[in-house]
Amino acid sequence: MGEAALMESIMGLIVHSGNTKSECMEALQLAKKGQVEEAKEKIKLANESLIEAHHAQTGLLSQEARGEKVEVSMLLIHAQDHLMNAITFRDLAQEMIELYERIKGE
């Protein structure tokens, strides 16, 4: 993988992870207003972004599995950090939406 392709993968991780987190934040705001179904739709969009982020990550992992060196840089570490935060944020958002839904139903 050339440097341009590596940068594309790294930026894909950052962008799609950021989109995941943004969709989750919007989902939480909707759930807080009682718009639970709309919030669940935002979570679906977040999951789609997360899949795209995973595709970028899988490309890097596959390269390394083939024995091709992946240059570890601060930018790659930053991208991985974004991905892990997005996953955690998505999981917590889903839990909170379920709580808002339960509160709304009472």
Percent of the residues in the chain that have a pLDDT greater than 90, as a whole number? 81
Q: Which of 54, 55, 78, 82 is catalytic?
A: 78
End-to-end CA gap in the chain: 55
Reported as a single tens digit per residue, the pLDDT across 42-87 is 999 999 999 999 999 998 899 889 998 888 999 999 999 999 999 9
Quote the CA–CA distance of 37 and 57 in Å, as a whole number.
Answer: 30
* 82 given a catalytic annotation: no
* Structure-token pair, residue 52: 């795209």
Tell me if 76 sits within 8 A of 43, measured CB to CB. Answer: no
- Which pTM value belongs to this model? 0.90
Burial class (CB in 10 A: 0-12, 13-18, 19+), 97: buried
91 is in an annotated binding site: no
Domain spans in the chain, listed from the N-terminal domain onward: 1-103
Percent of the residues in the chain that have a pLDDT greater than 70, as a whole number? 98
- CATH architecture for segment(s) 1-103: Up-down Bundle (1.20)
